[in-house]
Amino acid sequence: MRAIGLVDYDPAWPALFESRREAIAALLGHPAAIHHIGSTAVPGLCAKPKLDIDAVLSSDEARIDATERLEKDGYIFHGDLHGAGRWAFTKNETPYGTRLYLCMPGNLAHHDRILFRDYLCSHLETAKSYAALKRRLAEEANGDWDYYTGGKTDFIADILRRALVELDSLPKVTDQRLG
């Protein structure tokens, strides 16, 4: 098996995402909310050498149409890899590849990815712990993606729980306060 490769954070990732976001938006042919997710979206975090991007489309028809457009542009369609309602695509590009997911509004997996990203961005010590875990697992996995991914599951679940607790503790905006 091929080793799981991680690269150090590249400060060029945010600008590269903006460039890819613009290109993807033009390709989709439909309005979409496009989000930089995954480790390349967290300053200072090591990552696999691919930018993870979620595009939220408004309908299945738009997703089907976008799939055709993406494939014509060289994206490889992988289907709904995890049964989470996200259609996965990859494209080998330089200097980093793209992993694009198309989903619908309200998609739980997309919501969790945004929560996880935002929590790591606002808790740098936790992001450092996640980086250490990723590096250890990549070394131990010896190319076994199930081992690598499975080894992160408990950490990610814990962070999602923490993020939800933080969200629940924020003051709620009500119509009374606005009036």
The upper half-sphere exposure of residue 45, i.e. CA atoms within 13 Å in the direction of its Cβ, equals: 29
Sorted by where each starts, the structural domains of the chain and their CATH numbers stand as: 13-165 (3.30.460.10)
pLDDT score, position 174 = 58
Residue 106 in tokens: 């309200």
Query: Is residue 173 very low, low, confident or very high in pLDDT (cuts 50, 70, 90)?
Result: low
Residue 46 in tokens: 């090591």
Separation of alpha carbons 179 and 175, rounded Å:
6
Query: What pLDDT digit, counting tens, does each position of 121-151 carry?
Result: 999 999 999 999 999 999 999 999 999 999 9
Cβ–Cβ under 8 Å, residues 83 and 48: no
Query: Is residue 179 very low, low, confident or very high in pLDDT (cuts 50, 70, 90)?
Result: very low
pLDDT score, position 177 = 44
Place of tokens 């509004």: 105
pLDDT score, position 129 = 98
DSSP letter string over 144-171?
-HHHHHHHHHHHHHHHHHHHHHHHHHSP
- When pLDDT is averaged across residues 2-25 and rounded to a whole number, the result is 96
Cβ–Cβ under 8 Å, residues 56 and 107: yes
Arithmetic mean of pLDDT over the chain = 94
Query: What pLDDT digit, counting tens, does each position of 18-31 carry?
Result: 999 999 999 999 99
pTM above 0.85, yes or no: yes
Separation of alpha carbons 25 and 7, rounded Å:
27
Cα–Cα nearest to 45, from 156, 149, 115, 135: 135
